[in-house]
Structure formats: C-alpha cells, structure tokens
Amino acid sequence: MSARTTGRRERLRQATLEEIHAAARKLLVEQGSAAVTVNAVAREIGVSGPALYHYYSGHDELVGAVTAGFFRELAGAMEQARDAQAGAPIAERLLAVCRAMRAWAIGHPAEFGWIFASPITPPNLRRDSARHQAALRFEQILLDLTVELWRTRQFPVPDLAGLPESQREQLTAFSDVIGGVLPPEAVHVFLSCWIRLYGLLCMEVLHQLDFVYTDLEPVFEECLRDLAGLLDLDYSRT
C-alpha cells in the first residue's frame, strides 16, 4: 500500500528528527551552547554534516526546533502537575504548576537557558515558528488557571485610573487578545505575578543571584506566598 510505504519513510524521518534533537540536547547539556553545531550534531548521530540540511535549513532553524521541544517539555511538565491535582482547590493547582515550572527549570538549566535566552536573537526569530507556538502554550497554562480563578472567586484588582494612559491601553489590548476572559484590571494582576515568578527564575538560572544564594528554593517559596497573597489564595507549603 502506498500509504503504508509513505508512512514508513515518514516514520524514518521522524526517528531521525528525534535523534537529531537528542544529540543536540546532549551536546548542549554536556558541553554548553556553543557545542551545538550542525557538524557536531551530525557527527553525534553518525552522518556527515550536510546531511542535516535535509531536515533543517541551517543552524538557526535547528536550534529553534530544539528549543521548541524544550518549551513543549516544560509546558508538559506543568500540565502534568496541574492534572495530577485535578480535583484540588485552585490554589493548590496553581502552586503545583509554579513549582513544576521551577522544578523543570532547575532540573534542566541549560535547556531553560535556551528557552528564555536562546542564542538566536529576536531579529532572526520568526513569529510564526514552532518555537513561538510552544511559548504560547506555555504561557497559556498559568493564564488559564488565572482565568478559572477569576471566574470562580475573582481576586483583588487595582484601580487602573491611577495608571498612565499608555499602560491602560496595553492592558486593554491584551484583555481583548485573550477574548476578554480577564478584564484589564485582572490582566494587570496576572502580569504582575508572571513577571515576579518568571523574573525570579530567569535570575536564578542565569546565575544572577549566585553572589548570595546557593539555594533559591526558599526564595521561590516566599515569592509564591507573596503571589498567593496578591491573588487572595491560601498558601500551603508542599
């Protein structure tokens, strides 16, 4: 059957793609970002360098695809944590997802480094890429939980009247982008939380706090407690 045989080719191709990703990841983890070269990846899977150009148009696209994979894995870990708490109160699900995010980041620092500071700079980064899609899925997880919280219990929101016009416009615009499931005021709270949570992780993984902290787990938990306070949720330690 032609479908079957075509399927076979396709399967082989997928297998090779997975080999490529695994090799790239191995190089990244073991030898750092700079070691992930087209040639090195090819060597790792036992083919000549140019062979990889049948799978990716070049180094940047390869890196982008691998990074997208990391993003998906991170999002998957967070979703799994969320689903493991399926019946639990929203507070616990939110905390579980945040902790899963950090756990993955700490467990995979090199990969997380690529996620938010990949060697490919913005101009070379297309907005329609798989990488971008994966980023959206990642952001969606905490957004969804926040929306659920908003719908069921709401949470305290600031008065936007005191904010500059431009900021209010941006918050309203984002509220529209997400279909109005959160009003601009709630978007503001969501973003505040996002910034503090993600910002802390960035600093940790980029070693910006090494000068004082060797273990940031308690700091992260403090951050979570603060955020729980902002969202009027019960904070409970693991």
User: Which residues make up the interface to DNA (CB under 7 A)?
Assistant: 2, 5-6, 8-9, 12-13, 16, 37-40, 42, 46-51, 53-55, 57-60
Secondary structure string (H, E, C) spanning the chain: CHHHHHHHHHHHHHHHHHHHHHHHHHHHHHHCHHHCCHHHHHHHHCCCHHHHHHCCCCHHHHHHHHHHHHHHHHHHHHHHHHHHCCCCCHHHHHHHHHHHHHHHHHHCHHHHHHHHHCCCCHHHCCCCCHHHHHHHHHHHHHHHHHHHHHHHCCCCCCCHHHCCHHHHHHHHHHHHHCCCCCCHHHHHHHHHHHHHHHHHHHHHHCCCCCCCCCCCHHHHHHHHHHHHHHCCCCCCCC
Q: Residue 26 in contact with residue 40, Cβ under 8 Å?
A: no
Selection from DNA, a copy of itself, none that 180 binds (CB < 5 to 8 A by kind) is none
Nearer to DNA, 40 or 230 (CB): 40
Selection from a copy of itself, DNA, none that 117 binds (CB < 5 to 8 A by kind) is a copy of itself
Nearer to a copy of itself, 40 or 203 (CB): 203
Identify the residue among 80, 167, 176, 229 touching a copy of itself (CB under 8 A).
167
40 binds a copy of itself (CB under 8 A): no
The Cα–Cα gap between 172 and 169 comes to 5
116 binds a copy of itself (CB under 8 A): yes
Nearer to a copy of itself, 93 or 175 (CB): 175
Which part of the chain contacts a copy of itself (CB under 8 A), choosing from 11-19, 67-75, 81-89, 167-175? Answer: 167-175
Give the nearest distance from C-beta 115 to DNA in angstroms.
20
Nearer to a copy of itself, 98 or 200 (CB): 200
Selection from a copy of itself, DNA, none that 54 binds (CB < 5 to 8 A by kind) is DNA
Site residues (CB under 8 A) for a copy of itself?
32-34, 116-117, 119, 121-123, 139, 163-164, 166-167, 170-171, 173-174, 187, 191, 195-196, 198-200, 202-203, 206-209, 211-215, 218-219, 222
